[in-house]
Amino acid sequence: MAQKFVRALSAFCLIPLASAVSAATLPDYQTGSDWYTESADRLEERAALSREAKTAKNVILFVGDGMGISTLTAARILEGQLVGESGEENALSFEEFPHTALIKTYNTNQQTPDSAGTMTAMMTGVKTRAGVINIDGDAQRADCASSEGKELNSFLEMVESRGKATGIISTARLTHATPAATYSRSPERNWEYSAEGDCSDIASQMVELSAGDGIDVMLGGGRRNFVTTDADGKREDGRDLTNEWLERYEGEQTAVYVESGSDLAGVDLSNTDKLLGLFTSSHMSYDADRINKESDEPSIAEMTDTAIELLEKDSDGYFLMVESGRIDHGHHAGNAYNALHDTIAFADAVQVALDKVSLEDTLILVTADHSHVMTIAGYPTRGNPILGKVVENDSSGAAEAEVDTASDGMPYTTLSYANGLGFADLGENTDADERYDIAADTGRKDLSDVDTEVPGFHQEALVHLESESHAGEDISLHAIGAGAELVQGSLEQNAVFHVMTAATDLSLTED
């Protein structure tokens, strides 16, 4: 099996970065990478120990962007408290999965990683630099010429080129780092609508993907990167990629393009072969904003349900990646409310998949790309509101415990950030991004008369930065279904690729 993991066609030809492969085989420098072979060998050993191995026809990879362990814990508690429980004993849908592993997230050049490098590891089996998408770490960031001959091919391309169906979903822009790593290769994650040198921008790569017949389902945000400046877009090359995508399938397959949740709900999936949905100009709304402002955007659960229904029409199987991108953005804004509510919405999407597929032939993986510096601290009593101020358990047996205070005499919250913009009180405003329009409010604040459980409260931070940062600790990987037994122990992040290829028994060569 190890030989199967590392074998590649000897006649494989390198292609320019501006184009994608038509048959997504893996070049020698990819399968020969130490990152690649070490994880392949480790997964082979684990596969040999399995007594219940089943081959997965389908793989669904859920990625909660920025969903570290502390986020899981806090979201688990909040979900329970929202239905009247104390919260601590609750479990998110995927926390009940039978197989779990810890994942090391570092990039080749950073202890604390970014999403481009981490998702590249999961999609190609090779770790790389921060900011680089599906390019080996020997290349330099934002240097198109240095990336030639270092392009890495993704699991999605391999699946697509073998006649299976593929799909991507994100609540962020579909050209953002995490979804982009499923289908593109770029030395600069920010080249979403334009690129330098001979490189192709990420949006163009998405609609032009030549592996198989292109991606079957693409749902998310980022419309501005596909249309011209005359149409309120970012493109200055005069190209409308939504029209180009429709023209690609004209007369051959039924392709449908939608821009709203209402339009998505009205699609006749039984008579649709290809589906593209771009629901917002940039990122989609935080889930709380989507609900409270009655935005005509589909939820991540609704997008997941739609995608699976369409992909299941392919009897050969499929690969679907679902990203909750705005968990990460809530944390960057220092707003635990939105980060946790988007995590709960993400768990709902996982439950939709669980209810919809057969685990006899489907592998479901749930993980993150990296963590954040939100922490849970103090000694709050059990059942204390996770978004609230710390109320300590009163060992004296008093009927009512009082809000705890720090040595400065002021109360503090259970959740806080090690760095970021710091305190803000926007009341009932659910849009965490508006925090960036307010000057950093440094230092400790008297929260005595502040409602810290409202959507617009932003937690205090110790070190003040323009944006809260990622964290470098391990994240979790949860697995259920065919091939899930491969997920155990502590793994390098690039091992996720090998879990998927081993579970599907996917040949890494063209034959």
Catalytic residues: 115
**Residue entry with tokens 């980060």:** 339
504 is in an annotated binding site: no
Q: What is the dihedral sign for C-alpha 38, 323, 508, 54?
A: positive
65 is in an annotated binding site: yes
Identify the CA nearest to 350 among candidates 163, 43, 72: 72
Cβ-proximal residues to 454 (8 Å cutoff; 6+ apart), any chain: 337, 427, 428
55 contacts 505 by C-beta, under 8 angstroms: yes
259 is in an annotated binding site: no
370 is in an annotated binding site: yes
**Structure tokens belonging to residue 70:** 């502390």
- Alpha-helical runs (H) found in 197-254: 202-208, 241-249
User: Residue type at 470?
Assistant: H
Strand, coil or helix: 27: coil
Identify the CA nearest to 157 among candidates 256, 19, 295, 54: 19
User: Residue type at 237?
Assistant: D
The dihedral region occupied by 232, where left means phi > 0, alpha psi between -120 and 50, and beta the remainder, is: left
348 is in an annotated binding site: no
178 is in an annotated binding site: yes
312 is in an annotated binding site: no
273 is in an annotated binding site: no
**Structure tokens belonging to residue 165:** 């169906």
**Chain CA centroid to CA 46, Å:** 26
Q: What does each C-alpha distance from 468 to 170, 330, 442, 463 come to in angstroms?
A: 21, 9, 13, 9
470 is in an annotated binding site: yes
Give all strands of the β-sheet with 255-258 in edge-to-edge order: 255-258, 274-278, 217-221, 165-173, 318-324, 58-64, 362-368, 475-481, 99-104, 489-492
Which residues line the annotated binding site for Mg(2+)? 65, 176, 178, 323
Which residues line the annotated binding site for Zn(2+)? 65, 328, 332, 369-370, 470
Which residues line the annotated binding site? 65, 176, 178, 323, 328, 332, 369-370, 470
